[in-house]
Amino acid sequence: MTYSELYQTARRILQESGNDAAVYEARCLMQELMGIDRIRLIADGGRIVPAEQEQRLIKAAERRADGYPLQYLLGCWTFMGREFAVGEGVLIPRDDTEVAVMTCREALRDCPKARIADLCSGSGIIAVTLAGMLPQAEVTALELQEAAFGYLQKNIAMNGCTNVKALQGDLFTAHTLFADGSLDAIISNPPYIAREVLPTLQKEVQFEPAAALDGGDDGLDFYRCLASDWTAKLRKGGSMTLEIGEEQAADVMALLSAHGMGELRAVQDIQGLDRVIFGTKI
Ligand code: GLN
């Protein structure tokens, strides 16, 4: 089979599975797994593919057709212009998270040397992106899960971030490691899906770690902890930026308001849905 035929085959496998981004995804697979980009596909399309490479690509296309996430097959994904390693055991970056990053960054415009904690950091997209935008800031990225922590460390190194420190620990206990009033900003995209909703989410999500999604019975467990145990770690005037599920704004604002946070507001994503709660320490 030639490279061109292999690409057509992968595209057809994806199309037949109902994938409406089949062209894009087949190109991504060719590029990341074979090193054949669009230009080389034209220039070298007639060359014969080594048999084991052919099998590898077809297998990947078939797994994708079964709902396995594209990002895990590629092993990397882009967030706000930076590249991040991803794979099983870590949540895949979502563009929605840009709302949280930009909200936090805006709050720190007069605080270039901010001490920032990114809690439930996962692959580290928030910590690494903020650290890149604020090179004088000091970012601590907290992550509990072993696999995700490995990706976090890798992504810090891969992006050349010298101002992010990875810390392996649990949101529910690690607050004891921080002095009261010692942070200028806390940001988090915690697990927020209500447990019973998890099995109903789309097939791709079922391959992602439940630990990164499961927010307890009502989805709010992590916000309760963020409000009760972490707000004290902010200095007066410090900010908290929390990514939320679209129906959680009122609940999360009530939790923060009960623990000394003011100027609370919801920020909407590109679809107009509430995506972030922002507040400052009174
Ligand atoms: N946005 C993710 C989803 O809907 C959830 C991420 C999270 O729980 N923080 O799958």
- Tens of pLDDT, residues 259-273: 999 999 999 999 999
Q: Is the CB–ligand 1 distance for residue 278 below 6 Å?
A: no
Cβ(223) to ligand 1 under 6 A?
A: no
Q: Can you tell me the distance from the alpha carbon of 178 to that of 95, in angstroms, rounded to the nearest whole number?
A: 30
pLDDT band, residue 184 (cuts 50/70/90) = very high
Centroid of ligand 1 to alpha carbon of 89 (angstroms) = 14
Residues 231-246 have pLDDT tens digits of 999 999 999 999 999 9
Give pLDDT tens digits for 47-76. Answer: 999 999 999 999 999 999 999 999 999 999
> Looking at residue 59, what is its pLDDT?
98
pLDDT tier for residue 193 given thresholds of 50, 70 and 90: very high
By most ligand atoms within 8 Å of CB, the mutation choice from 189, 198, 241 for ligand 1 is: 189
Whether ligand 1 lies within 6 angstroms of the CB of 120 is answered as no
| 189 touches ligand 1 (CB under 6 Å) | yes
Q: How far is the CA of 38 from the centre of ligand 1 (A)?
A: 32
Q: Provide the pLDDT for residue 13.
A: 98
- Percent pLDDT > 90 in the chain is 100
**Protein residue closest via CA to atom 7 of ligand 1:** 191
Give me the amino acid identity at 1. Answer: M
Q: Which atom of ligand 1 is nearest to the CA of 96?
A: 1
Q: State the Cα–Cα distance between residues 254 and 141, nearest whole angstrom.
A: 26
Residue type for position 90: V
Collapsing DSSP states into helix, strand and coil, what is residue 138?
strand
Average pLDDT over residues 21-44: 96
Mean pLDDT across 73-90: 98
State the closest ligand 1 atom to the C-alpha of 120, by its place in the atom list counted from 1: 9
281 has which bridge partners? Answer: 261
- For the chain, what is the mean pLDDT? 98
How many Å lie between the centroid of ligand 1 and the Cα of residue 219? 11
* Ligand 1 contact via 94 beta carbon (within 6 Å): yes
Residue 213 alpha carbon, nearest atom of ligand 1: 8
Q: How far away, in angstroms, is 191 Cα from ligand 1 center?
A: 7
- DSSP H or E stretch at residue 253: helix 249-257
Distance in Å, CA 181 to ligand 1 centroid: 29
Residue 154: predicted pLDDT: 98
pLDDT at 148: 98
d(CA 149, CA 105): 24
Q: What is the mean pLDDT of residues 182-187?
A: 98
Return the pLDDT at 254: 98
> What distance in Å separates the CA atoms of residue 208 and residue 90, rounded to the nearest whole number?
7
